[in-house]
Structure 1
Amino acid sequence: MAAIVDHSSDAIVSRDLDGNVMSWNVAAERLFDIPAAEMVGHSIRRIVPADRQDEEDSIFARVRNGELVPKFETMRLRADGTEIPVAITVSPIRDAAGTIIGASEIANDLREQANLRAELLQSRQRFEALANNIPQLAWMADRNGWMFWYNQRWYDFTGTTLAEMEGWGWCGVHHPDHVDRVVESVQRSWDTGEPWSETFPLRGKTGEYRWFLTQAQPLRDENGDVILWCGTHTDITEERETNERIRLLMNEVNHRSRNILATIQAIIQRTVGGTDPELVDALTRRIAALSANQDLLTSGNWIGATVEDIAKSQILHVSDISEGRVEFDGPPDVKLKPSAAEALGLAIHELATNAAKYGALSNSEGRVTLRWRVEERDGAPTLALEWRERDGPPVVSPKRCGFGTTIIKRNPEMAMRAQVTLDYLPDGVEWRVLAPLDVLAKAAKESIRQSGD
């Protein structure tokens, strides 16, 4: 029995009914840093903090009554007076006749558990501080999409409780016109494990709906399996309203600009319409090209326009693309800044008009190909664009360079900082543009990747 006690990892102490220590094992020496010689025959109260002496009185009373004191957590003193957390179990000791003569006390060191608890509490407090002070509404769901946690922002906005929102309860604060779409969208992410992004309105506690951008990412284990989802709702109501006001203002500006262009056309007709019909036609067409460019840029909030949209908007007035006589070949997302888009649009308009009058689109067999790529040239990404006519009437090089040549060649050179060549080859006109990539508004890297593919 002595060997078992001495080799136990738990502190095992016995004492008489007066509280004097009768035995003090090796583990007790390690835990309290007090040798057995200093404790045996002395009061156990040495290791009891002053503010816990009443606790020790209660233990003595219960032991005298023959009670077992189940394990409980408390604090005890080491030799240097440092308090340490321990878990203690106390049971009465009886003699051969069954008389209670003392108590046996087993103490477990809880310092490691206490440190872990403190770290866990600190982590939880930090997490709650972060989660409840971010501007977004935040939530978490298990691997199957069962919502089990929301931050305080969510409850403050919706006026709900976890019991109401747990699982699929969140559907209750979604707008009925959007909830089916949202459920279908999020279920797709639950099933595939792909990140989720969606916009929709949520009802606040006042009954008002506000628009939110929601994004959710899966958290995966070491095997790549989803273990939970973390999501946020970002209020974009003001942003949507601002964008809508900007859109209305831009449409109004575009409407007034078109009215001004129409007035200019009318002035031209009345001023020189009877004396120079060819001049009137050229000016009217170019004004129409400006108007088409303006419509295209306005529909894109004046962020820019893609090469494909620019080309199609300018060529439609001379040739029905569905006939297959005009071929467009290039990545669909190469977008130009407004100034570059306007210059390119006017140039393509002029080329298309000339092709319809004199070139490949003036007969029934001619064809036009417009190709564009984003490629590396001299170590820098470059937009390479080519207009090529085939199977049209024999090409005759113009004897003089008029305003049309300026629109086709010089205007893109300045607006796009491009190298432009215009060749009147015997079998068809060829127009090439090389522009540095900084004329692009966005999607440059993706365009390079798609061009490489």
Structure 2
Amino acid sequence: MPSKTKPVSTTTATGKKGTSLKGRKPPATRSANEELEISTEEMQSINEELQTVNAELNAKNQALNLLNNDIRNLLDSTHIAVLFLDRDLHIRNYTPAMTKLFHLRDGDSGRPINEILPGINYPELKNDVAHVLQDMVVTERTLRGDGDAPTFLLRMRPYLTVDNVVDGVVLTFVDVTLSQLNNEHARLAAIVNSSRDAIFGFSLGDRITSWNASAERIFGLPAAQIVGKPLNQLLPPEPSEETRLFFASHHRTRRLDEFEMTWVRPNGESVPLALSYSPVCDDNGILFAGKLIARDVTERVRAARHTEMILGELNHRVKNTLATVQAIAQQTLANATHLPDFAESFLARLLAMSRTHNLLARDTWAGAPLTGIINNELAPYRHDDACTNDERVRLQGDELILPPKQALALSMALHELVTNAAKYGSLSVPEGRVSVTWTTRAQDQRPWLLLQWMETGGPPVVPPTRRGFGTRLINEGVPYELDGEVTLAFPPSGVTCTIDVPLDEVVP
């Protein structure tokens, strides 16, 4: 319903009042103007918001472009080969370093990777991708090149979108050739440094370039003192001809298995060395350095000298043993009345020698225990197998190791005493007794042994009317062999024998 307008009173020329509509707007126009003004304000507000959104969008676009540029520069500048594949093994992206592993070109994005000729041997690619996509794991593999080709460490991981959805795989190939080479060099250096042999290198100019820890120990020279010095500083004062020729030569193209020299350390100590030389050549076979290995052969030299001494001693002892056997055979034969008697006496004496040889051999001929020698002879006449004193046998004396010469001579003398006691003396009757005592003393700066044999409880002793082999061996052989004195007596109560001889060496 239209609004009512209050009329305005006016006065005409005739003086009558009337109503005028001049200066008044229609109601519809005024409402439209108001709505238009509101719309204009809203449009201005929307324009301001659009300007803000456009500014934000431009800023985000600039940030996105900057990020894309950073990513592109990052991919282009990295030396690591990186390959992006989708779930179907199609190429998404790659770094320039990948072109050395696969023959990729700018238009290869979107192509299946299996259509690209690889520059490395990697037949497991498809299976590895399936494994990573299925199990959501990171896998690693070492790809070794053939010959001089580099070695790569491959690491494959899932490709995740911003929504954390797996949409492919990312492959990185890291060249570990230099790292492996450094590790190998470090391993070889550790082996060289831990070797018990001296290992050192030198240049073609005969300057020492390396010196391991064992070289310091064997030569007695620290590395700081010898590295860089001329090789001929290791030439000993009195070299062999082979050693002198090696150090004098400057064309060492052939390997030398071993030559010996004696090095004198700074402290004056001499060390026998066995050296071996190896030329060091490059891949083209050109000599550029040399290597020496020196081994301390002190123990080997000592063992060789010991072996030589043992052989000499063995030769001497074999000759002496044969001479002793010959003398025993001759003397036994001269005193035997018939052949069975000779065989019995001769074999018994050889057995006594054999038992003493066994005692000496047990300790590599260093010596034999006196108690062992005595017990070997008296064992058949004891009441039991014990080596201690019993009713028939009594031993008294300190533990004593006799040198081989004294052991053999005394064992033969004791054998003759025991044999005589078993045949005619105290060991021929059950109530007979044998006592053996011994002591040691120092005389004229030499150790001496005083051994006393005494028989009791046997038949009355009658002095022999003739001197048999046993008597001559005790009275003459022992003093001659050992440069001592022997007193053999035949009182009626029992045979006694005193042996007083020097000991060249008493083994504790």
Relative to total residues, which structure has the larger strand share, 1 or 2? 1
* TM-score with structure 1 setting the length: 0.38
Higher Cα radius of gyration: 2
* TM-score with structure 2 setting the length: 0.34
